[in-house]
Amino acid sequence: MPTKKPEAAKPGPSPETIVKNEIDSALSAFRTSDFEARLRGRIRAESERSGRTRRPGRRPVLAWAGLILVLVSGVSIGVWIRSRAARTGTVLAVFEAALARSPLLRPNRADEPAGRFQQTASPGPLEQTIERALRPLFQEPLAATPGERVSPAPRSISVEELDRKIGELIKGQKLELFFSEYLKKEEDV
Amino acid sequence: METSAGARSKAFEELLALKETVFRICLGYAKNYADAEDLTQDVYLKAHRSLNGLSNPESGREWLFAIARNACIDHRRKDRLGRLLPFLYEKGRERRQDPAPAVERDERAQVLKEAVRRLPEKLRAVFVLRTYGGLSYREIARSLKINEGTVMSRLNRARTGLERRMKDNADKKA
């Protein structure tokens, strides 16, 4: 029984022939007068527009790229400012707490017995550092150990005077060292 | 000044006489007739804008064909980008509702078009400029800044590749 050979695909027209047909067909639809009229209109419109300012919308890719760049830089700057604010806020909060607890820096109040803080709370390393830095301002001895009573100091300094002196210290950047040391410790932990 | 403007205008008119050749080259690169016509418009707009850059008017033909080729490559790139990021080009150019020439409904022509689009750019450029544009080997060589021998070898490789693809396609159908 003779087997039927699979039929080979017929060789079609060459690419050149197909291209020639395509060109003939396209050229028959190509209206040169319409084409030229449209082109001249576009050239005229473009030359009229060239005098005006270029709108960013004419180049959508550039406009989008610019917008994305602005957004990314805005977010980055926002994050950076926020982190700086949080960092400063933390340092200031700790510093204020330390100042509030320090017997050296509390303004003199008649209803508060001297040395109470030494009895109830032990100063932390930061408080000790701050007190050490501010001690020359007040010429007042510190308690050597937590809980030891110190003689009542002549804390006759007013709140305004205290503010001014701390301001001078900060302005002179003498307290910068303490901030940085404290932050380093915080980061190590 | 007037002379310069006049010379410019004359040079542009000379280039405009080549519109059918430019259209045929664009047809080789474009997906369909409407795209080819739009591309031809773009080519002439670009040529008009940079007419001052044409230092030697004698090489105007090659200069124009180089602009056409670059515009077609640029169009293809934008087309791809437009498919990836449609929001960037959603306002794109208005499509005219011209009736498609009969050849666009011919399946073999579409297969060949797809095969041409899949050729490497070096081979496609030579094939399109020769077969669609009808340029001589010398003109192609000058336009692409390559030797005439290279033009011939690339053209041969392009034809072989296209015939193989078309044969593969016919075999699949059979």
- Residues B77 and B117 occupy one common structural domain: no
Cα B126 from Cα B141, distance rounded (Å): 9
- Residues B84 and B25 occupy one common structural domain: yes
- Across the range A19-47, mean pLDDT stands at 87
Question: Of B83, B100, B117, which closes a domain?
Answer: B100
- Across A135-139, B43-47, B128-132, least confident range: A135-139
Give the per-residue pLDDT at B80: 79
- Residues B131 and B82 occupy one common structural domain: no
Give B-chain residues touching A32 at CB under 8 angstroms. Answer: 19-20
- Residues B69 and B148 occupy one common structural domain: no
CATH number at residue B157: 1.10.10.10
Give the per-residue pLDDT at A180: 62
- Residues B25 and B90 occupy one common structural domain: yes
Cα B59 from Cα A187, distance rounded (Å): 70
- Amino acid in position A47: S
Give the per-residue pLDDT at B148: 94
Q: What are the C-alpha distances in Å from B159 to residues A16, A17, B32, B109?
A: 9, 12, 21, 15
Give B-chain residues touching A27 at CB under 8 angstroms. Answer: 20, 23-24
- Residues B56 and B74 occupy one common structural domain: yes
- Say which residues have a Cβ less than 8 Å from residue B134's Cβ, sequence separation at least 6: B21, B24
- Residues B95 and B115 occupy one common structural domain: no
Mutate which of B118, B131, B159 to test chain A, going by most A C-beta atoms within 10 A? B131
* Interface contact A64, partner B, CB < 8 A: yes
- Residues B84 and B126 occupy one common structural domain: no
* Interface contact A26, partner B, CB < 8 A: yes
DSSP class of residue A56 equals G
Picking from B57, B68, B62, the residue whose alpha carbon sits closest to that of residue B28 is: B68
- Residues B86 and B15 occupy one common structural domain: yes
Give the per-residue pLDDT at B82: 76
* Interface contact A38, partner B, CB < 8 A: yes
Question: Of B100, B118, B135, which closes a domain?
Answer: B100
DSSP class of residue B30 equals S
* Interface contact A189, partner B, CB < 8 A: no
Question: Of B47, B75, B100, which closes a domain?
Answer: B100
| Residue B18 belongs to domain spanning | 1-100
- Across the range B123-132, mean pLDDT stands at 94
Q: Do A15 and B28 touch (CB under 8 A)?
A: no
Model confidence at A118, in pLDDT bands (50, 70, 90)?
Answer: very low
- Across the range B133-142, mean pLDDT stands at 91
Q: Which two tokens stand for residue B72?
A: 């077609």
CATH number at residue B85: 1.10.1740.10
- Residues B68 and B84 occupy one common structural domain: yes
Cα B117 from Cα A91, distance rounded (Å): 65
Cα A133 from Cα A131, distance rounded (Å): 5
Q: What are the b/e assignments for B104-125, b being 16+ CB within 10 Å?
A: bebebbbbbbebbeebeeebbb
* Interface contact A51, partner B, CB < 8 A: no
Cα B4 from Cα B6, distance rounded (Å): 5
- Tell me: pLDDT of A70 over 70: yes
* Interface contact A65, partner B, CB < 8 A: no
Give B-chain residues touching A35 at CB under 8 angstroms. Answer: 19, 23, 37, 40-41
**Which ipTM was obtained for this model?**
0.79
Give the nearest chain B residue to A38 (CA atoms).
Answer: B41
Give the per-residue pLDDT at B50: 86
Tell me which residue in A16, A42, A46 faces B131 most closely, judged by beta carbons: A16
- Residues B16 and B95 occupy one common structural domain: yes
- Residues B114 and B168 occupy one common structural domain: yes
